[in-house]
């Protein structure tokens, strides 16, 4: 997973003084929890299935 977006988001909040004792959730299905690059060995049908799950998480059609 590529959590660079989460780090930038969190550091931006910290710089603005908006970070407290809260739990910050950055997970698959959020903009911050995007996947990095795919290994060439991963079959296309697996990529498609994972991408659909991520879309369903973002839209709220699937929850964890």
Mean pLDDT, consecutive 10-residue stretches, the chain (64 aa), reads: 81 92 78 80 95 87 84
Write down the pTM of the prediction: 0.57
Domain count, the chain: 1
Give the whole-angstrom CA distance, residue 39 versus residue 61. 27
Is residue 63 within 8 A of residue 57, CB to CB? The reply is: yes
Which structural domain, as residue segments, surrounds residue 40?
4-59
Residue 24 lies in a domain: yes
Please give the pLDDT value at position 29.
Answer: 67
Give the whole-angstrom CA distance, residue 44 versus residue 50. 10
| Strand, coil or helix: 23 | coil
Residue 64 lies in a domain: no
Residue 38 lies in a domain: yes
């Amino acid at each position: 997973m590529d959590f660079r977006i989460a780090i930038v988001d969190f550091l931006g909040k910290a710089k603005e003084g908006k970070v407290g004792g809260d739990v910050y959730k950055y997970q698959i299905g959020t903009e911050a929890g995007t996947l990095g690059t795919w290994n060439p060995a991963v079959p296309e049908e697996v990529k498609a299935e994972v991408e659909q799950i991520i879309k369903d998480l973002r839209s709220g059609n699937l929850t964890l």
